[in-house]
Amino acid sequence: MKTDELINKVQQLIAIASTADNPRELLHAVSFVADLVAAHTKNVTIERFERNGKPSFLAYAGAIRPKRFDVTLNAHVDVVPGKSVQFIPKIAGDRLYGRGAFDMKAATLVEAMAFCEAAHHTPYTLGLQVVSDEEIGGYDGVAYQIEQGVRADFVITGEHTLAPSTIYTDQRGICWIELAFRGKTAHGGYPWHGENALTRATAFAHAILERYPVPDKEVWSTTANIASIGTTNATPW
């Protein structure tokens, strides 16, 4: 595919409002890429998946899915919500603007075309995995395909990197924890008879940040973020 044609296809894909709350457009975007793959290579299987309204597909050469792929190209076509005008692609100078241009519809089509060109010519098994729920966790895309037996020894994700000309081969995980602290009520004149749950919560937050302080420069280490502390207590004073 020539550059001008690729840019045109990216613009068409950007125009699809493939947000998590729009299952019809998610399917449209996934099918757009799958159809493009089918049109640009032969003897390729496009295996489709879907759970909870989140479609995805896996493409590979031949009729039988390998037990394990040596390499899988991974991409997603879902985007975070935006204004309707953001789904109208435009070119300004040498840049293409539109919701998902950077994250990651352009990269998705680049990976798709790379797969089409290489699928029958690599000495290793190559797969192309395109999902539609990366922005909301990936549970019905990649996770679902893994549940269906999809395996790979090495996965290349076409997402942007923090540093130019850099390929990351490790990834930091994330753990979201919600904790509830309970206390004991007491009369305002006798606070020593009670236990303040908010005080316990803030003490815990301070302890976490003491153990995992905010780094003062870029570093590969465990970090912690206190997202919120709330209470149902409506007492005004």
Largest CA distance in the chain: 80
What is the pLDDT, as a whole number, of residue 15? 98
Buried/exposed code over 120-157 (b: 16+ C-beta within 10 A; e: otherwise): eeeeebbbbbbbbbbbeebebbbebbeeeebebeeebb
CB 80 within 8 Å of CB 19: yes
What is the pLDDT, as a whole number, of residue 237? 60
Helix, strand, or coil here: 50? Answer: strand
pLDDT in tens, 181-220: 999 988 888 989 999 999 999 999 999 999 999 999 888 7
Q: Does the pLDDT of residue 71 top 90, yes or no?
A: yes
Q: Does the pLDDT of residue 164 top 80, yes or no?
A: no
Predicted model pTM: 0.74
pLDDT in tens, 30-47: 999 999 999 999 999 999
Q: Does the pLDDT of residue 160 top 80, yes or no?
A: no
- Position with higher pLDDT, 98 vs 164: 98
Query: Which CATH superfamily includes the segment(s) 3-157?
Result: Zn peptidases (3.40.630.10)
Task: Kindly list the domain boundaries of the chain, sorted by start residue.
Answer: 3-157, 172-237
Using 50, 70 and 90 to split pLDDT, how confident is the model at 167? confident
Torsion of CA 176, 180, 181, 187, to 10 degrees: 140
What is the pLDDT, as a whole number, of residue 236? 64
Cis status of the peptide bond prior to 104, with omega within 30 of 0: yes
Lowest mean pLDDT among 32-36, 173-177, 233-237: 233-237
Find where tokens 């998946």 sit. 49
Nearest to 60 by CA among 140, 115, 107, 131: 115
Those residues with Cβ within 8 angstroms of residue 17's Cβ, 6 or more apart along the chain or in another chain: 25, 79, 84, 87, 99
**Structural tokens at position 36:** 């493009």
CB 104 within 8 Å of CB 96: no
